[in-house]
Amino acid sequence: MPVFSHQFQALRGTAGDAGLELARTIEAVHRRTDGTFVVAPQTPDIRLLAEGTSLSVVAQSIDAVEPDRGNGQVAIRAVAAAGADGVVINHPESPDTLADVEAFVAGCASFDLESIVCVDSVEVGRAVLTLDPDCLLFEAPSDVATGRAMTRQHPERVEAFVSMVESESPRTRVLLGGGISSAADVGDAFDLGADAAGAASAFVDAADPEAWLSSIAAALVAE
Amino acid sequence: MPVFSHQFQALRGTAGDAGLELARTIEAVHRRTDGTFVVAPQTPDIRLLAEGTSLSVVAQSIDAVEPDRGNGQVAIRAVAAAGADGVVINHPESPDTLADVEAFVAGCASFDLESIVCVDSVEVGRAVLTLDPDCLLFEAPSDVATGRAMTRQHPERVEAFVSMVESESPRTRVLLGGGISSAADVGDAFDLGADAAGAASAFVDAADPEAWLSSIAAALVAE
Amino acid sequence: MPVFSHQFQALRGTAGDAGLELARTIEAVHRRTDGTFVVAPQTPDIRLLAEGTSLSVVAQSIDAVEPDRGNGQVAIRAVAAAGADGVVINHPESPDTLADVEAFVAGCASFDLESIVCVDSVEVGRAVLTLDPDCLLFEAPSDVATGRAMTRQHPERVEAFVSMVESESPRTRVLLGGGISSAADVGDAFDLGADAAGAASAFVDAADPEAWLSSIAAALVAE
Amino acid sequence: MPVFSHQFQALRGTAGDAGLELARTIEAVHRRTDGTFVVAPQTPDIRLLAEGTSLSVVAQSIDAVEPDRGNGQVAIRAVAAAGADGVVINHPESPDTLADVEAFVAGCASFDLESIVCVDSVEVGRAVLTLDPDCLLFEAPSDVATGRAMTRQHPERVEAFVSMVESESPRTRVLLGGGISSAADVGDAFDLGADAAGAASAFVDAADPEAWLSSIAAALVAE
């Protein structure tokens, strides 16, 4: 089942009620397709979207928390309690130490959350697969927010990545990010073997988000 | 009006529904006193407590967010949208750079949130006062979670701090933390000139949190 | 006595013997002028330049070190032992927490090192002056490495900054950075009241570094 | 050939001339044994010890440096130019992101430096081995500076770790740290299959460092 992921990041117009409205637009399109849509809202909005929509909600990041400390840190326990279905780990804008990547993947397993680890190369992807994550999000930082999808710029990189994952850990899904901005990009991602694709700024920047989303949904249905 | 602040940090038993129940216990005691109680829940629970109680809710921390970026960062816009009344800045467990302290105090003013800046010395307190914060939280890291209140160990430090703030910025309130764990400590804090006192682990660790809280409330009423 | 500062950062061609050669070029020009030249090499090269030239050498950054710990951290004790004459604090590319800025300024005083604190606004500058630093380095991150000097783009900001420092702490010197790339810029900096000016990429990028440096030296002598 | 490593960290009495004297004591003992001694001085002292002794010198840490930026960052290029023979990566007191671990191991290979990656579990060790490091330093943070060696407390953990490395990457050497404080601990480490052992505070804290070191040397010779 094809999956499409929306990362709200800290983009304007994605916090609080505005974010809930965005998520409901996504949900409305979601109901008309077989595709699965996932949203990654800002941390204070996890519960709002988990309770207010039927979408899968993933936390943008979590923190390592020492017992009995941790002011300002976001514990995995807290995002699970807020209704998250998964956690994004090692995002390039909030990178995690190696020890934290290990601890967070294990923590997701024990809290029954989907672990989604960001990597930017075949080498780093292979290292993370030894930790048995549920999903790898593959994107090169240089492609983010450019409108130049890796699928078009470097299809051979995507194929090499997908092939490595299939060989090392067939159960792990591959999510493609980085410059995905159109239904054609989404179609390319699935054609190259990805299990999912995602975008951040493209949806928020679209002149008509619902129309943009419907075109993405059509691409998902076509898979 | 005396104020007492509860920092939930990432302590066990403070996330999600358990945190809401804690907050409702605080609220119940709050209604029987003239004192003001403030809670600082984990970030995913700000909205839960802001909507589910009449308490003042402050964010444990926020992040600097670059325009159009910021995965995993908590923007001041998002905590304001979630219903926060204030923000803790520069907590020793999530310290902020000097530039961020300046930006966050200014941001709080523009979003009409209370700015509460943590400092650990008269010198750092004086530096922050030039930025015109609403409140300084004065505590020495070495007193945190020890059960040894600064008010008892070093009352002269508290007096020197209060005196400096009164001289430099009378409008700024002084909140005392660091080892406050009993009604006597709270009484001492107000006697030494503080406008507010706070605790983290003491409430959660108390054998009977409601009884502990009632004793604190009595100390607030006595002021 | 006018001062000109060279920040080597981690620019190519500034490490090890290449950096020593650069420093000797600076020293040769320095001997022909009344101006003072300062260099900020990478940390492994502090001793090399302190022992191999007569220039003032400042550390690009230091770290807070807990007693009996600190692998990978650079202690103020170590840069002093290596022959540094000063320390750059709170550089935008290695920003320091508020508590560290206070500790580092005090540490510089106790080790008899010049404390040079980077700030990007009048407000942050005023806050730092309460800590009594020897020098403030004023630059806006947006002007760095642009070739557009703040002195030309925003002379009024420079004047406001200099005026604030003269009023709050006349003993503290003002060093201007951010886009300084020509002798004219240096002249402007001094005309606007700065005590010193500095550059990073301009020297390294110059087609003829020695000629470029001589023109800067002439600007210093003219002061 | 057995190896023993000294991490100076930022311990008192290890900077500048005092550090050089320590290193010369190590060198004097080194010459009387077949064992190899390695030192990890603070960054400003890499060149001092590389030029002033015949010991192998490793950098305590390096930083990721973006092209044309990097004030305060320590580039691999700079530690190589200073004479380092290797780099400690991902030390628990200066942990590295996953992407940096990958980049630093690759950087060491291209600069012909020994890559020594710290890990605290079999799982993290296995992940790093996919990146082909020269050496893994295995220690649990909870054993550091305790005087309780992992070799005595948890010999089964050491055996499991050594066995995993032999199976996954026979060329990679295993260095044991964490609480090693006597010749008996060093002997145990080699008996359990480690290729090297190391200590930080034990040497500096010893009443008679040279006698302590000679006992370690005897343990190395016995291997």
Q: What is the pLDDT of residue D174?
A: 96
pLDDT at A204 over 80: no
Written as six digits, the tokens of B22 are 């804690």
CA distance B77 to C96: 24
Q: Calculate the alpha carbon distances from B141 to B6, B91, B179, C19 in Å.
A: 17, 10, 10, 41
Residue B30 designated active-site = no
Query: Which of A194, A176, A186, A191 shows the shortest CA–CA distance to A220?
Result: A186
Per-residue pLDDT of chain C (223 residues), as tens digits, is 568 888 888 777 889 999 999 899 889 888 887 778 899 999 999 999 999 999 999 999 999 987 666 788 999 999 999 999 999 999 988 899 999 999 999 999 999 999 999 999 999 999 999 999 999 999 876 665 566 788 888 899 999 999 999 999 999 999 998 778 888 998 999 999 999 888 877 777 788 888 888 888 888 877 7
CB distance B78–A43 less than 8 Å?
yes
On whether any CB of chain A is under 8 Å from the CB of D64, the answer is: no
Q: What is the pLDDT of residue D143?
A: 63
CA distance B29 to D136: 55
Q: Under 8 Å CB-to-CB from B17, ≥6 apart: which residues?
A: A81
On whether any CB of chain C is under 8 Å from the CB of B145, the answer is: no
**B near D: at least 3 beta-carbon pairs less than 8 Å apart:** no
> Best interface-test mutation with C: which of D22, D42, D66, D205 has the largest number of C CBs within 10 A?
D42
Q: Calculate the alpha carbon distances from C118 to A69, A119, C89, C96 in Å.
A: 32, 34, 6, 10
Check if the beta carbon of residue C22 is closer than 8 Å to that of residue C8.
Answer: yes
> Best interface-test mutation with D: which of A91, A94, A98, A165 has the largest number of D CBs within 10 A?
A98
How many C-beta neighbours within 10 Å does residue B163 have?
A: 12
Chain A residues touching D119 at Cβ < 8 A = 98-99
Per-residue buried b or exposed e for C188-212, using 16+ beta carbons within 10 Å of the residue's own CB: bbbebebbbbbbbbbbbebeebeeb
Chain C residues touching D88 at Cβ < 8 A = 71-72
Query: Which of C211, C133, C205, C208 shows the shortest CA–CA distance to C173?
Result: C133
CB distance A40–B200 less than 8 Å?
no
Instruction: State the average pLDDT for chain A.
Output: 89
Residues of C involved in catalysis: 91, 139
> Best interface-test mutation with A: which of B60, B71, B93, B146 has the largest number of A CBs within 10 A?
B71
CB distance B93–A81 less than 8 Å?
no
CA distance D99 to A89: 12
CA distance B63 to B74: 5
Query: Which of A74, D192, C221 shows the shortest CA–CA distance to B74?
Result: A74
What is the distance in angstroms between the Cα of A94 and the nearest Cα belonging to chain B?
Answer: 6
On whether any CB of chain A is under 8 Å from the CB of D144, the answer is: no
On whether any CB of chain A is under 8 Å from the CB of D96, the answer is: yes
Check if the beta carbon of residue A82 is closer than 8 Å to that of residue B44.
Answer: yes
On whether any CB of chain C is under 8 Å from the CB of B122, the answer is: no
CB distance A123–D131 less than 8 Å?
yes
CA distance C222 to B206: 71
Residues of A involved in catalysis: 91, 139
Query: Which of B117, C42, B200, B214 shows the shortest CA–CA distance to A70?
Result: B200
Q: What is the pLDDT of residue B179?
A: 78
Chain B residues touching C100 at Cβ < 8 A = 95
Give this complex's ipTM: 0.91
CB distance B101–C98 less than 8 Å?
yes
CB distance C92–B99 less than 8 Å?
yes
Q: Which residue of D has its CA nearest to C62?
A: D72
A211-220, C90-99, D170-179: least confidently modelled range: A211-220
CB distance D131–A121 less than 8 Å?
no
| DSSP H helices in B68-140 | 76-81, 98-111, 122-129
On whether any CB of chain B is under 8 Å from the CB of A25, the answer is: no
| Residue ranges of E strands in A29-80 | 36-40, 56-59
Which parts of chain B have pLDDT scores under 70?
1-2, 67-69, 141-147
Written as six digits, the tokens of C208 are 């003829």
- Over its C-alpha atoms, chain A yields an Rg (Å, rounded) of 16
Report how far apart the first and last C-alpha atoms of chain D are (Å, whole number): 8
Written as six digits, the tokens of B142 are 């070495």
Q: Under 8 Å CB-to-CB from A150, ≥6 apart: which residues?
A: A138, A139, A140, A143, A157, A158, A176, A178, A179
Check if the beta carbon of residue A136 is closer than 8 Å to that of residue A171.
Answer: no
On whether any CB of chain B is under 8 Å from the CB of A182, the answer is: no
For residue D1, with 0-12 CB atoms within 10 Å meaning exposed, 13-18 middle and 19 or more buried, which class applies?
A: exposed
Looking at residue D195, the DSSP 8-state letter turns out to be S
CB distance A90–D98 less than 8 Å?
yes
CA-based angle A214:A219:A220, to the nearest 5?
Answer: 95
Question: Which of B106, B121, B130 comes nearest C127 by C-beta?
Answer: B130
CB distance B93–A71 less than 8 Å?
yes
Q: Under 8 Å CB-to-CB from B145, ≥6 apart: which residues?
A: A68, A69, B179, B200, B201
Check if the beta carbon of residue C136 is closer than 8 Å to that of residue C156.
Answer: no
State pLDDT tens for residues B38-89: 999 999 999 999 999 999 999 999 999 876 667 889 999 999 999 999 999 9
State pLDDT tens for residues D115-168: 999 999 999 999 999 999 999 999 876 665 566 788 888 899 999 999 999 999
State pLDDT tens for residues A16-74: 999 999 899 889 888 887 778 899 999 999 999 999 999 999 999 999 987 666 788 99
As beta bridge partners, residue A58 has: A86
Check if the beta carbon of residue B150 is closer than 8 Å to that of residue B157.
Answer: yes
CA distance C204 to D139: 42
